[in-house]
Amino acid sequence: MELAAAKLKFIEAWGKLGSEWGINRTMAQVHALLLISPEALTTEEIMETLSISRGNANMTLRDLIGWGLIEKQHKAGERKEYFFADKDVWNIARQVAKERKKRELEPVLKVLNELSTVTGDEKDPEFKTFKKSVTDINKLAINVDKTLETMLKAEESWFWGSVLKVFK
């Protein structure tokens, strides 16, 4: 496979994966583009390569910065802003995990906590079933939270070393 074709395929695949994971396609594609680019790129270059509008490019870049996946770079003597992506895949994974934990897991844990204070008749099957589901989900969510917490602090080699050794 040729490099040019491979790049397109990678951008497409990353975009699809993103959209399956609640990250919009364009955002994932811009990220993909910067990820495989050895040099920081300008808004202009990104707009052209991906055929997207200026407004879209601007908002997407802003979101990616918000996710901690890319950064702005200023070149001496130039007005333009350049953007580049962190190339360390483990950092990327951590960053995504961190953001999703904050945006999604934590609110859910909060609600589950509230819900576990529900009162009712212990003999009522409706009550018992509700309570059990909420409690069980809460336990699972707490375990997931703890695991993510560890991952956020861990070095990649240590993390996979440990996990895969256990699962041998």
Total chain residues near a second copy (CB under 8 A): 57
> Length of the chain in residues, anyone?
168
Among 25, 71, 108, 145, contact with a second copy (rule: CB under 8 A): 108
* Smallest separation, CB 41 to DNA (Å): 11
CA distance 90 to 98: 12
Nearer to a second copy, 52 or 97 (CB): 97
CA distance 109 to 74: 40
* Smallest separation, CB 115 to DNA (Å): 23
CA distance 54 to 3: 27
When asked if residue 42 is in the footprint of DNA (CB under 7 A), the reply is yes
Contacts with a second copy in 122-141 (CB under 8 A)?
124-130, 132-134, 136-137, 139-140
CA distance 129 to 11: 46
List residues bridging with 85 in a β-sheet.
Answer: 70
Phi–psi pair at 118, nearest 5 degrees? -60, 145
When asked if residue 59 is in the footprint of a second copy (CB under 8 A), the reply is no
Name the site residues for DNA (rule: CB under 7 A): 19, 24-27, 42-44, 51-56, 58-62, 78-81
